[in-house]
Amino acid sequence: MEAQADNATKTKRKFDKSTLIWVMLGVIIIAIAGINLWSAFDTKPEVLPEVVEVSVPDFSLTNQQGEPLGLSDMAGKIWIADFIFTNCPTICPAMTQEMARLQSEFVADPVYFVSFSVDPERDTSKVLSRYAKAYGADDRRWHFLTGDKAHIYQLAEQGFSLAAGHKGSEVLHSPRFVLVKADGNIHDYYDSRSKPAMLRLRRDVKTLLRK
């Protein structure tokens, strides 16, 4: 009798386990079917995050030819901006060389370049003209700008969100390039010291040219 009871208990346990497994599988199948059914009938449009574009604020400065140049002169143009100064002993020469390479690569395309001096008191139009010629700048497409220092610093920090200023006798500025679209909005930022970033800049320029 005890053996029969043990066998009955074991059989019941096997049955309970088997039943539990099938119940769990049934619940999972019903849940998956419910999700698929909800997805099929849910017609609400996907809510995408709002992209806030930043536009370059108006500015009025003087180029290397001694002529006034402002934001309106860049309207409808794709352009790349940076902030440099001619006496810079560190990153500026490399930045300007990289900009010169971009000018050569896009020589047949309507791409423009703007280099703002963060040391405008020393970087007069004549100084910038000599600097531009040393790097083979095309005056029609590459503008080196000087003017009021406070205006340029405000433009860098508040307009382009780039660092610019003085620390004692040291002039501070960002090594990044800024790609500006034809509508005057900033497309993106690129570290001029990074090869991957420069490759991405080139790809982005080509994409904007196709639009």
pLDDT digits (tens, 9 = 90+) for 10-51: 444 544 555 655 556 555 556 555 545 444 444 444 343 444
| Helix axis angle, 195-210 to 92-105, nearest 10° | 30
DSSP code at position 44: P
- Give the whole-angstrom CA distance, residue 176 versus residue 76: 23
Question: Which stretch of DSSP H or E encloses residue 8?
Answer: helix 2-41
pLDDT digits (tens, 9 = 90+) for 81-95: 999 999 999 999 999
